[in-house]
Amino acid sequence: MKWQTTFLLITQGIELVETGQCAIALGSNLGDSLGILEAALQVLAATPNINIQAKSSWYQTKPIGPPQPDYINGCAVLQVVALSPQQLLEILLQTEVKFGRVRQERWGARTLDIDFLLYDDVILDTPSLQLPHPRMSERAFVLVPLAEIAPNWVEPVSGKAIAQLLQALDCSGVTKLPA
């Protein structure tokens, strides 16, 4: 399946988008992680111009960075209408803040982390946003849940489908939680 924008115009830094398919990764390792993740998806679903198309299972994963509890991670595919990538990023950051996210330490523990992974086949590199997410293809905790809901989505930099990227990773630290 090819994901593409119905209409995307980028001129002089202004982005206008009619509709688009986006992929996000969600994670939490502080507080009631499952409750926080489900509530964050509900907040996004209630946001104008955002429709959740698919949601992965939740997975327990080992943390990257300093010593901290294991994470609960998953992914979602969103359909967005009339939202540029930058506007969607702002909504995702605001959602993190609603759930107590405080940015103190890189790769530190957090109540909610939402990573913006893909926006159709857009390649974007600005000071505040890189698409596709620059480290997504190195992370089993991202690709395992994303492959569950969008295995054929082609990551535009590598030209490989998510399922292909996943084959190159060690997934031993990613455990699917019971439904």
Residues labelled catalytic: 101, 110, 113, 115
Q: What is the C-alpha to C-alpha distance for residues 138 and 146, in angstroms, rounded to an integer?
A: 13
Interaxial angle between packed helices 85-98 and 33-45, expressed in degrees from 0 to 180 and rounded to the nearest 10 = 140
Torsion angle of the four alpha carbons 166, 74, 89, 102, in this order, in degrees rounded to the nearest 10: -120
Q: Measured between alpha carbons, how far is residue 48 from residues 41, 80, 99 in Å?
A: 13, 9, 19
Report how far residue 117's alpha carbon sits from residue 78's, in angstroms, rounded to the nearest whole number. 11
Q: Are 77 and 150 in contact (CB under 8 A)?
A: yes
Residue type, 128: S
CA separation for the pair 44, 40 (Å, rounded):
6
